[in-house]
Every structure is written in structure tokens, then in C-alpha cells.
Structure 1
Amino acid sequence: MQPTAAHVDELAANLRAADRWELMCSGHTDHRKAIADSLGYSTHMATVLIDGRVAAIFGLVPLSLVTGVAAPWLLGTDLVTQNRRALMRVAPAYIAAMARAYPHLINLVHAENEFAVRWLRRAGFTLHAPEPHPSTGHPFHRFEMKA
């Protein structure tokens, strides 16, 4: 389902603590604005609903149309961790669609975001050793997948 302003509001109000901290550690203090801005830059995006409530919103921000590089992102509520199997069932189709559009997917994940780090590995992404974020110095893994 395409994200709406109401979805953005619901996600911002109910972000998982780890996602809220990750946004802070990457320099984003206004969570709603960070979500809305990310959607504004994204070519592929969707809201994941569980029982009519926002579990997550994700998107794909093009970094280079010439080389086919894009940054996938996902921010969620506690419904994501409570329903991790459901997320793993739908994720491969979305990741495959992103990889068809952009053969090199790359982004950063906060090193302390253990659920996201494990999920990215299970989803097939390669995670690199943590490095300081260029804006804040907090440790982030670069993760990537090449088609």
C-alpha cells in the first residue's frame, strides 16, 4: 500500500525505540520530517499494515541512475519485531523488485540496532564493519546487496 500522510504520522508517533535512536544517531531530530523527506526522495515505497495498523514504511532512494545504486530504508513500530516472520515472508519480493530497478543497494544501519542488523543479514545483505557516521560519529554498518 502506498504511504499516506496519516501513515507517516502514525509511524512517527510509534517508532521502535531502536529506530528512533538510529535516526537521532544519524542526525535526524525531527522523526516525522525524516520519514516524509525519505518518502519524497524514494522511487519505490510501501506501508506495511498489520491488523490495520502501521508496522513499517520502507522506500528506495536513488543515489545514481547511471550506475544503478540506490539506498533502501525501512522504519518500523514494535509491530515489526512482534511479527518478524510476516516481514520475512513479504520482504524477498520487495527486495527483488528493488534490485531489478537498482542492481546495487547500499545504506547504513546503526550498529546497536540489533534487530535490523540480524534482519538485514537474513534478507541477504552483506554488512561491513562499523564505522563512525560522517555527521555524528556514532557507529554504523554499511550494508549492501549487488544483483
Structure 2
Amino acid sequence: MLGELVTATRTHALMMAPHMRAAEVREIMASDGLTPIRGLLRELDRSSSAWSWIIDGEVACMFGIITPYLLDQESYPWMLTTPLVESNSRQFARACRALLPELLAVHPKLSGMVDARYELSVRWLGWLGAKISSPEPWGAEGVPFCRFEIGA
């Protein structure tokens, strides 16, 4: 994989927040009413595991898994990205496909919500094999979001 996958830190969040893709800034505002830095730090703080993909010293994306209860069968993945993901899209896609079985081995059911207006993200989740529901009003702004599920 181009770049390096490392344990995510608050410093990564501070570095990445000003560079997040506009569609993701809009998504976290619509879902939770949060700014990029507050959204990144909140997800990082709630995660049982979180990683950053670093390319040439810059944070391309941060992602993690939130597991609300130790014995819960459902975990909630999150991922926020910068334009570096687009300029390294093939490596990003391969890395995601390779990492997904490892995540599902530990977290058999991954589910969450995605802004239906963020068509690229919806298509990417479908490409990964997610079942995607019809859009329904959700979140702080009540805009259309789709529930997605991968695994069990």
C-alpha cells in the first residue's frame, strides 16, 4: 500500500481537519452539527480502534470502529478523508478491500449512516458489498441519509 497505515492520533485529526473533502464536511454537519475538527476528535475518542493513512507526511484519511458494548454484535465504522484519497484512489480501493475481511473477523456486523447526497460514498459502500437502505430524514439537519450494513 502506498503510504503508511498507523494508529490514529489527535495530532492527525488536527492536521487533517482543514483539508477534509467538502462533501464530508457537509455530511458531519448534517449528521451531528459538528465542525471537521470536532467531528474527527469525537469519532477518535469514541473508537475502540482507529487508524490514519499517511502519505508523504500528510493525513489522507482517518477511520475507526466504534463498538458500544463489549459483547455487542454490531459495530459502527467511520471514515473521513481528504483529496489525497482521490489522487491515490487505486491504492485506497485495494487497501479497503484487503482490510475489510480483517475488520469483519473482529467485528462481524458493521453498520452506520451515510449522507444520501454524497453519491461517491454511497457507491463506494456498495462496491465494498454493503446493503444500503433507501434514504430517510436523519441527523441534526434531517436531510436524507441511508443506513448501510456490511457482514452478518
Instruction: Give the TM-score normalised by the residue count of structure 2.
Output: 0.89
Is 2:121 the counterpart of 1:116?
A: yes
Percent of residue pairs bearing the same amino acid type: 33
**How far did 1:134 drift?**
4.3
1:85-108, CA deviations, whole angstroms, 9 ceiling, x for partnerless residues? 111111123222221112110000
CA contact (8 A) 2:52 2:61 kept: yes
Report the residue type matching 1:41 in the other structure: R
**How far did 1:4 drift?**
2.1
Partner of 1:145: 150
Partner of 1:16: 21
- Range 95-104 or range 72-81, more displaced: 95-104
Q: For 2:83 and 2:10, how far apart are their aligned partners in 1?
A: 20
1:28-86, CA deviations, whole angstroms, 9 ceiling, x for partnerless residues? 33321211111111112110112221110000001343341001110000111222111
Aligned counterpart for 2:105 among listed residues 100, 103, 119:
100
What are the residue-to-residue correspondences of 1:21-60 with 2, within 5 Å? 21-60=26-65
CA contact (8 A) 2:10 2:44 kept: no
Partner of 1:76: 81
Q: For 1:28 and 1:131, how far apart are their aligned partners in 2?
A: 18
Q: For 1:33 and 1:47, how far apart are their aligned partners in 2?
A: 17
Q: Any idea what SS the aligned residue of 1:98 has? A: helix
Q: For 1:96 and 1:12, how far apart are their aligned partners in 2?
A: 28
Report the residue type matching 2:149 in the other structure: E
Instruction: Give the TM-score normalised by the residue count of structure 1.
Output: 0.92
CA contact (8 A) 1:44 1:98 kept: no
Q: Any idea what SS the aligned residue of 2:80 has? A: strand
Q: For 2:99 and 2:33, how far apart are their aligned partners in 1?
A: 26
Report the residue type matching 1:58 in the other structure: F
Q: Any idea what SS the aligned residue of 1:26 has? A: helix
